[in-house]
Chain A
Amino acid sequence: MMNQKTTEQTLLSIKNLSTYFHTPEGVIRAVEGVNFDILKGACLGVLGESGCGKSVTALSIMQLIPSPPGEISSGSIQFAGKDLLRFSSRQMRSIRGKEISMIFQEPMTSLNPVYTVGNQIGETYRIHEGLDARQAKEKSIEMLSLVGIPSPQKRVDEYPHQLSGGMRQRVMIAMAIGCQPKLLIADEPTTALDVTIQAQILDLMAGLQEEMGMSIMMITHDLGVIAEISDKVVVMYAGQVVEQSSIDELFKHPLHPYSRGLLNSIPKLGDKFVRGKQPLREISGQVPDLINLPSGCLFASRCPKVEKKCLENVPQLIEIAPGHDVRCWLAG
């Protein structure tokens, strides 16, 4: 009974997803056996450093992995009860933009420089909803004011280079939510923005999420962003999920040494700088080579508490407490 209820509320369910890139140097295991669910109307944060497979996971959901060399080699992506990996490219196109949308990191390059903002927002309406140019423009003005751009009547005829980074990101959001998608994938949407603008964009996204009842998958390496907007967090490392819990649990009781390291690396307000002492804490070492993965735990080479067991056997993602999974031999 309980189980059935959760599946009804689940919008996206990723099971055992693996995405590999076949390069001349070998197979890069960018994403390996990833599992997570996104509930309806919820926001899932995906946390991890550069190259840990966050973006590849997102592109796998959209099936925009450049192929070749990329390939989704196994797993299933259930969206609203249907497996997207079994969809034809035509069926997939009916999902993209309408059911699942995506916004990107770099507001400087994510808009086409040769068209006006209105033209680009309107394009989705002209294609997907068959509106004519005038209706599309009206709709664009409406969307611009929805994403909080002042004097939208004027802005609609401006080119991307006339807008600031924050405004461009708002335009990008307007384009993405135009057809009222059920899921918005945001790939580091605030990374390239000032801190004050970051907060505004996150507020905007949280507001839109509530208003439209959509789910958000927020990909970031910034714990502050995750804390602000997400309900649940998935921590990824070297293509694997290493920890998964609610946002409060992660901040209060991080179980995986990597999550702990991430939390410790945030500079604390009020910490005194002492000469000779390291002012910022880091996680020393580097992500393992994704072509020649080490045996055992992938984090072992950087783990401060590494044991013999960690180097020999691969830990599994285990539920330690209700709703709190971790991939570590030493947890629990």
Chain B
Amino acid sequence: MIKPALSQSFSISSHPSSTIRTLKRLWHLRLGILGSLLILCLVTTALFTPWLAPNDPYTQDITQRLLPPFWMEGSSSDHFLGTDHLGRDLLSRIMYGTRISLVIGLSAVVLQLILGVGLGVLAGYYRGRVDSAISFIVNAMMSFPFILLALTLVSVLGASLQNIIIALGLTGWPVYTRVTRIETIKLNEQEFILAAHSLAYSSWRIITRHVLPNMLPTLLVLSTVEVARSIIRESLLSFLGLGIQPPTPSWGVMLAEGRDYMLMHWWLAAFPGLAIFMAALGINLLGDALRDYTDPHLRKY
């Protein structure tokens, strides 16, 4: 139902005849395209890892430990990016790590969305005391260091995939609340909301059908950025030993394990780090591009 309105704002006016314009447009899109390609790689890897990965990520081979990547002397053709201290294939572990990162990134954002948007809409729609209470919680949460909060939650709940998602979800929602609160207040001043009230639509209906769909572009952009942030935060927690537990191949775990061998075998930490960087970069670039296209003021071509 919303699709045509969105696709309309995505459509960019151009004269069909002018090739220069098209080229200019593509140049303007370059970062968005790069981001999309990175995301495509990420998602493909995550979906098809069992078929794509060259080796099993858990198989240890002590005779093949700490092999360097393919271009260096002493590398093995079986292990493209070399092996870690237990002789496990680094490339395969990174590929399996993609799954964990994506699952955590997406689930954490879903949890954040439910909590953050729910509270933000309540605060913005009802204002008054509800707003004061919610805004106070948001401010309190935002002035708390993330690490402290997340570490406390994980140590209370115990370190597991599920609990990390919960911890990231419970710490990440205030941003959404801030944004949706303001958006709701702004939308509430629009006459079509007043018109909906004047036609006696219920509050539930006004919120779900008239307020929320109008902030979809904003939420879309915010969510992409938050997926990237959640992936980085998972790595951080795993690096500190309170996230995903070894031997599960999480990027953060691999980074932590690689740290001990960093001086002689730099690739053990570098490649997982690169993976985190590429994933976050891709998602952020895509988010930026989405923002540019959904905001008509920033749309130049």
Contacts and interface: CB of A to CB of B under 8 A. Distances in A.
Nearest to B197: A64
Given A104-B191, A119-B1, A124 B214 contact: no
Contacts of B192: 109-113
A127 interface: yes
Contacts of B4: 159
A94 interface: yes
A281 interface: no
A110 B195 CA distance: 7
A118 to B, nearest CB: 11
Contacts of A64: 194, 197-198
A2 B117 CA distance: 59
B193 to A, nearest CB: 8
Interface string B198-236: 111110010001100110100000000000000000000
B8 A96 contact: no
Given A115-B1, A127-B205, A159-B8, A96 B194 contact: no
A96 B200 contact: yes
B214 A93 contact: no
A139 interface: no
What is the predominant secondary structure among interface residues of chain B facing chain A?
helix
Contacts of B8: 159, 161
- Assign chain B's interface to a size class: 20 to 34
B2 A105 contact: no
A113 B5 contact: yes
B198 A96 contact: yes
Contacts of B5: 113-114, 159
Nearest to A107: B191
B190 interface: yes
A123 B198 contact: no
Size class of the contact patch on chain A: 20 to 34
A62 interface: yes
Which of A68, A95, A113 has most chain B Cβ within 10 Å? A113
Interface in A125-176: 127-128, 159, 161, 172, 175-176
B16 interface: no
A106 B193 CA distance: 12
A218 to B, nearest CB: 16
Contacts of B201: 123, 127
A96 B199 contact: yes
B128 interface: yes
A219 B156 CA distance: 62
A102 B192 CA distance: 11
Interface string A65-106: 000100000000000000000000000011111100111111
B190 A124 contact: no
Contacts of A172: 195
A176 B192 CA distance: 12
A112 to B, nearest CB: 5
Interface of B: 1-2, 4-5, 8, 128, 190-192, 194-202, 205, 209-210, 213-214, 216
24 contacts: A62-B197, A62-B198, A64-B194, A64-B197, A93-B202, A96-B198, A97-B200, A101-B199, A104-B195, A106-B191, A110-B195, A111-B192, A111-B195, A112-B210, A112-B213, A113-B5, A113-B192, A113-B214, A114-B216, A123-B209, A127-B199, A159-B4, A175-B195, A176-B198
Given A101-B198, A110-B194, 10 more contacts: A62-B198, A93-B200, A97-B199, A105-B191, A113-B192, A114-B1, A114-B216, A115-B1, A115-B213, A124-B199
